[in-house]
Structure 1
Amino acid sequence: MNTSSSTEKTRFLAKIDWPGLLILTLPPLFWAGNFVVGRAVRNDIAPMILSFGRWLIALVCILPFAWKPMWRDLALYWQHRWRVLGVSLAGVAAFNSLVYTGLHTTTVTNGILLNSTIPILIVLFGVMFYAQRLARIQLAGLIFSFAGVLTIILHGEWQRLLSLTFSRGDLIVFSAMVCWALYTLWLRGLPAEINRIGLMGMQIVLALIALFPFYLWEQSGSAGFVWTSNAVLALAYVGIFPSVVAYLLYNIGVARVGPVRAGLFIHLMPVFGTILSVAFLGEVLRHYHFIGAASIFLGIIFAGARGRKTASR
């Protein structure tokens, strides 16, 4: 009995793509910081200026490494032009601009709660439009991880759900989550021979073109950029870590493990948000943080198992 149980456990662990899971662990850390920073500088940097400045910095960082594969893959970009345009507008231009706009009138807590709907939206859209199916263990992973998110955000007190209210900012942030779910699904449809660093560069270029008119509009109005040390540091952070590093890792992760399992890692954001709050804001860890984090990690491990039913029909 013990030998059989040990063998089954070994087989289960062997099915997990550990490198893929590790690659996808860092993006939620950087994105959690993005929410905190976006809320913190809302009075210093207008949302479209923050989004445009973020991607301009990201382009400067990535272009030395991306221009050769970008040039080489031009024919592939054109061949898949509508999908490349779609991921650029939905996942790069629209997602961040909507998040920064929404954070002007909603809290980071509500934003992260809404962010946690992404894995569910990915599953929903995948089933509706791409005939995707989930293995039972991956469905269990989705449930466990979402329950962990709610445990952290609600402080382990489920009655708090009754007191949650949603504002105009919440609706704007939720529309950003719809964009990200579509981005994740569309990203998987791009062929593997397209270099991911070059693709990231092309996405940024197209996003900057789309954002430029909105940038000019905000610059010409009363909203703009207040030159403070915090604002400059915030712009540098969002331009490097949530943009270049996180997006590259997420692109690679989606290619390795698929959109549904990759989307589940979004549930790590409340965990990292808590860690950042403890490290930089002096907040205290509570029992519900540990319970929620354990549930999230368990869900990710379950979802990381390679099931036979996850592929499209």
Structure 2
Amino acid sequence: MEKEKILPLWAFILPLVAIIIWSFNIVVTRYVSGYISPVSISFYRWFIAFIVLTPFVLPKLWINRKSIFKNLPKLAILSAFGMVMYQGVAYTAAHYTTATNMGIINAFIPIFTIVVSFIILKERPSIYAIVGSIISLIGLVYVVSQGNLKDLLSAGAHLGDILMLFAVFFYAFYGVFLKKWQIKLPILISLYVQIFLALIYHLLFIFYFGLDELNHQNIWSIVYAGLFPSIFAPLLWMLAVQYIGPSRSSIFMNFIPIFTAIIAWVWLSEKWTAYHTIGGVIILLGVALAQRQKIRRSINERTVKK
């Protein structure tokens, strides 16, 4: 049996930087909500990413044309869930809730992924996943109710938090479909085609809602969204998965609520309250427990291979 390879420090910096970029994007989404409509920022974001990627990807499209057309229906579904429904609903949610709440609810993605995997892939969740999901749900209800369940039952949940829950649920479908289909295409080309399809979807919404003009109040937020979370962060994440593995990388997702809260506190002066702390800790404990079986299985598989 060989000794486990010692990974360099920079390999763990890759997912950390990706998480910081995505956390910044949540705060940017909240910040720019008062200056541009959800449809407009979503369209501009993917349009910028499309323009930037075109010179690098275009020469390879013809080579992979057969595989692209073969998988076009699947790519269209992925684009709809990951780039239109998730992003569009999240941008809408930003008008009605805080960036801090958005970051905390975003941590629920692994839990929803377990649920969707059971529905679509028929993967039976482990006892860790079930108990962890219940614990996370308790934490989520505590955060949404702002620490007062009585008020939640009498007044109802906040619209922004409900919308963010739907957004996270859509992203869980995106992740599960990625796993189910495992499309045989270079990742950058797959991303590029999904972005192109997302732009086509947006034309329908633009026809109905219109397109806001770019100005000094929204342009830099749009540029950030189009470059960093759309291109750089996914590339860093893919490298992280390649070097340290998916299980280790997924643990870094738990830092999103923390980084988002810190950035929102510094930039937007959002308050971090006791119910954020209590609910956030409960959610993360549940997520960590739900992921435990997955991580242990990955370790066992590596041991067998040795």
Both structures adopt the same fold (TM-score exceeding 0.5)? yes
* CA displacement at 1:211 relative to structure 2: 0.6
Does 2:64 match 1:50? no
Q: Residues 169-212 of structure 1: CA distance to partner in whole angstroms, max 9, x if unpaired?
A: 33322221121001111112344641111111111001001112
- Cα displacement (A) at 1:65: 1.8
Would you say the 8 A contact 1:87–1:187 is kept in 2? yes
Whether 2:257 is the aligned partner of 1:270: answer yes
Alignment match of 1:305 (pick from 292, 295, 306): 295
Unaligned runs of 5+ in 2: 302-306
- The equivalent residue for 2:76 is 85
Kindly state the Cα deviation for residue 168 of structure 1 after the two structures are TM-superposed. 3.0
Deviations 1:112-144, CA, capped at 9 Å, x for gaps = 2332221111011112221335667x7499669
**Distance across 2 between alignment mates of 1:251 and 1:133:** 27
Conserved 8 A contact 1:133-1:309? no
Does residue 13 of structure 2 align to residue 25 of structure 1?
A: no
The alpha-carbon deviation at position 72 of structure 1 amounts to 2.3
Tell me: CA distance 1:309–1:135, structure 2 relative to 1, closer, same or farther (3 Å). farther
Which piece of structure 1 moves more, 207-216 or 105-114? 105-114
Per-residue deviation at 1:286? 9.2
Give the match for residue 208 of structure 2.
Answer: 217
Name the residue aligned to 1:237. Answer: 224
Deviation for aligned residue 1:236? 0.9
Post-superposition offset of 1:69: 3.2
What letter is aligned with 1:307? R
**Cα distance in 1, alignment partners of residues 259 and 107 from structure 2:** 13
Name the residue aligned to 2:118. 127
1:57-98 per-position Cα deviation (integer Å, ceiling 9, x unaligned): 111222222223333222112222222111111101221111
Query: What does the per-residue CA deviation read over 1:233-274, in whole Å, with 9 as the maximum and x for residues that have no partner?
Result: 11111111111122334456678855x876664432111113
Work out whether residues 107 and 284 of structure 2, in 8 Å CA contact, stay in contact via their aligned partners in 1.
no
Contact 2:99–2:261 (Cα < 8 Å) also in 1: no
TM-score, normalised by the number of residues in structure 1: 0.73
Letter in 1 for 2:288: G
Cα pair 2:27 2:99 within 8 Å, conserved: yes
**Partners of 2:112 and 2:169 within 8 A in 1:** yes
Contact 2:31 2:268 in 1 (8 A): no
Query: Alignment partner of 1:194: what SS?
Result: coil
Unaligned runs of 5+ in 1: 1-9
Q: Are the equivalent residues in 2 in contact too, given 1:23–1:249 (CA < 8 A)?
A: yes
Aligned residues: 292
| 69-78 vs 113-122, greater mean Cα deviation | 69-78
Report the CA distance shift for 1:282/1:67 in structure 2 as closer, same or farther (over 3 A): same
Q: Which residue identity does 2:49 align to in structure 1?
A: A
Give me the CA root mean square deviation.
4.5
Q: From the superposition, tell whether residues 202 and 25 of structure 1 become closer, same or farther in structure 2 (CA, over 3 Å).
A: same
Residue in 1 aligned with 2:196? 205
- CA distance in 2 between partners of 1:19 and 1:193 (Å): 29
Which of the numbers 233, 244, 252 marks the counterpart of 1:246?
233
Q: CA deviation at 1:41?
A: 1.6
CA contact (8 A) 1:184 1:254 kept: no
Say if 1:98 and 1:173, in contact at 8 Å, map to a contact too.
yes
The structural deviation recorded for 1:103 is: 1.5
Given that 1:70 and 1:201 are in contact with CA atoms closer than 8 Å, whether structure 2 keeps it comes out as no
- 1:184–1:263: 8 Å Cα contact kept in structure 2? no
Cα 1:282–1:214 shift into 2, 3 Å: closer
